[in-house]
Amino acid sequence: MSQLVIGTAGHIDHGKTSLVEALTGTNTDSLDEEQSRGMTINLGFAYLDESVTIIDVPGHEKFVRNMVAGVSNIDVALLVVAADDGVMPQTREHIHILSHLGIPRCVVALTKSDRVNDTDWIALVSADIQELLKDTPFPNTPIIPTSTVTGEGIDDIRKALISKTESREAKKDSDIFRMPIDRVFHKKGFGVVVTGTVLSGTLEKGDSIEVLPETLKVKVRGMQTHLAETDKVNTGDRAAVNITGIEADQLWRGCELHSVGWMQSTQRIAVKVTMLPDTRWKLKDKQRIRLHIGTAEVLGRVSMYETKSIGKGNSNTVLVTLEKPVSAAMDDKVIVRSYSPMDTIAGGVVLDPHPPKGEIIRKWLNDLSEDSAGRLNQWVLFNQKNPKSVLEYARHFHVSEADILSISEKADLHIENGLLIHPDSESGHKESVLNFLTDFHRSNPYKKSVNADTIQSKLNLSSSVVNLVLADLISAGKAKEAASGFALIDHEVKLNEDDRKSADAISQWIKGQGFQLSKTNDIIATIKLEPKKALELLHILKDEGAVDMVGDSFWIHSDVSKSLQNELQAFFKQNDSLDVNTFKGMTGTSRKSAIPLLEFCDGRGWTDRSGNIRIKGHDI
């Protein structure tokens, strides 16, 4: 089972670090500055037992960004409220953050109870906390009085936290490794070490991984979890990872480790924002904000399209354009803080880390669903002319291919040759291709077919869509392959009366030339037809088997070519080879006609060239 991660929350100087030390024996104020000031500046870590990690998160307002970095990965919140102070501003702010980040469970420690001898005051503070938690995910959380001085309630808190390990649900794992970085340092003899909580997947010693948002390739040299060396870490584990191929100054809190190729950084994200119910702020169009996502804090600007502002307690989907790239995935939780003064004003969820650009963005944001099937459906429709593979969507949604297949079933999408197709667009594409073929045959009645590239270009569809549609139409008996192209199933080339007379005239004139090859230009001049029409009729005669094309610009009647085949059969019964002069005498032609005619015979397999002579071909 993966580790359970507990994160502390609460107002400054309410005793979070002392409580963690009483529970674990570890003082998480690891920095000299922290110990001298008696204040937790950075995230601190301690271990309740072999499967439970406690992250001690700072409470001072200046360090809320660290608090968000800590809580974004935790399973259980340990909310700390001092009995002598009661609920304070950052108590409320941290509870809002816990709620919006989707932390599933909570334990409340009423600390410093030894300083309060008034039971009525304890009851009043407890009632305030219960009221505060009433409309959160933690309405019935027990409140346990504690004292690190007398030891009151410490065992009860420990038991309450451990009980959460028994009731928790297994973490959903996409099998794709992802770990936001909350600390970076250089350790002598080892090199660069980063720490974080594994959000998904598994990492093994020796693996190659990527660092985002810079997309740098690194290799895992070694790992620790629970202060012990390990060859493997899993979803939910607190991990220290020793990586090579990078310098410490290339990393910062907010970077992430990822499986190679499964994620891209972004500076534009679509976010469903929900304003805090008691905020004094309104979120306005073009407002500059501080966005906390994973362990990153980045400045950005909000764009709204359906409204100009969002008031307290209300929600809307907005576009956030960030000033620096971040690593963001579908359904990541975020916290929104005002630029200045810094207040937590909203929570949110990433509905799309890579929304399309251009005028479509207004409708795109309006249509975005919180349901994964709805969003996949939207993307598949958007890409209907150039369908994407299951793997491409798996990477866009940052889930496994199996997950995308499951989501696609809910969305009633079709899979053709590994591509996701929307049923509406599929039927629309078939109708478009059928209409195109109908119009093509009407405009070009003497052409047997049209190639797939032309269909693709004219309809602005991808080759994969055209190939899929044509295959389906052929299977359904509505289209056919013909002359290296495609045509409607019932399409046949039929000449009208005038064109038939012209075609017959061409055929007879070519036949009259015998072995003297007819040039295309001579035919056009003699029959007095438009060049395009003459060529069209010549190719129809060729398809009908009346004439044969010799080289690129000569023609011979098929009756004449048949007689030539017979003469060659008779010749090779008495001779082993045929030279050019003998062939000229046989056919009564000049060298100008004899050479292309011999090459025509080679192509038909009637002769086989050997140096300057011909020998009997395999089809004689």
Domain ranges within the chain, ordered by starting residue = 4-167, 178-258, 266-367, 372-421, 424-488, 497-616
Whole-model pTM above 0.95? no
What pLDDT shows up at residue 169? Answer: 60
- Identify the CATH number of the domain defined by range 178-258: 2.40.30.10
| pLDDT given at position 286 | 97
Sequence-distant (6+) residues with CB within 8 A of 338 are: 281, 289, 290, 345
Q: Enumerate residues 6+ apart whose C-beta is below 8 A from 582.
A: none
Find the DSSP H helices in 136-230: 154-167
Nearest CA-CA partner of 539 in 564, 572, 503: 503
Q: How many CB atoms lie within 10 A of CB 120?
A: 8
Q: How far is CA 513 from the centre of its chain?
A: 65
Q: Report the candidate in 183, 153, 216 with the shortest Cα–Cα distance to residue 73.
A: 183
- Rounded Cα–Cα distance for residues 536 and 481 (Å): 20
Contact present, 33 and 60 (Cβ < 8 Å): no
Cα separation, 184 vs 194, in Å, equals 5
* Per-residue confidence (pLDDT) for residue 71, from 0 to 100: 59
User: Is the domain covering 4-167 a CATH 3.40.50.300 domain?
Assistant: yes
Q: If you classify domain 424-488 with CATH, what class do you get?
A: mainly alpha
On the question of a cis peptide bond just before residue 142, with omega within 30 degrees of 0, the verdict is no
Residues of the chain scoring pLDDT < 70: 1-3, 28-45, 47, 57-73, 165-174
Instruction: Identify the pLDDT of residue 66.
Output: 58
The pLDDT, as a whole number, for residue 61 is 52
Contact 195, 181 (CB under 8 A): yes
**Beta strands, E only, 330-401:** 333-338, 344-352
Please determine whether the domains at 266-367 and 497-616 fall in the same fold group of CATH.
Answer: no
pLDDT at 615: 96
Looking at residue 28, what is its pLDDT?
Answer: 63
**Angle at alpha carbon of residue 368, lines to 366 and 373, rounded to 5°:** 150
List the alpha helices (DSSP H) in 368-496.
372-382, 390-397, 401-410, 423-443, 452-459, 463-475
DSSP 339: S
Residue 559: Cβ-neighbour burial (10 angstroms; 0-12, 13-18, 19+)? middle
- Give the right CATH number for 497-616 from 3.30.530.20, 1.10.10.10, 3.30.2310.20, 1.10.3720.10: 1.10.10.10
Look at residue 64 in the predicted model and tell me its pLDDT.
59
The Cα–Cα gap between 612 and 615 comes to 10
CATH of 266-367, one of 1.10.3210.10, 2.40.30.10, 1.20.140.10, 3.90.1310.10: 2.40.30.10
| pLDDT 10s digits, 38-68 | 434 345 667 677 777 777 766 555 445 655 6
Task: Look at residue 25 in the predicted model and tell me its pLDDT.
Answer: 81
DSSP 73: T
Whole-Å CA distances, 171 to 5, 174, 237, 430: 12, 10, 11, 43
Q: Which residues pair with 298 in a beta bridge?
A: 291
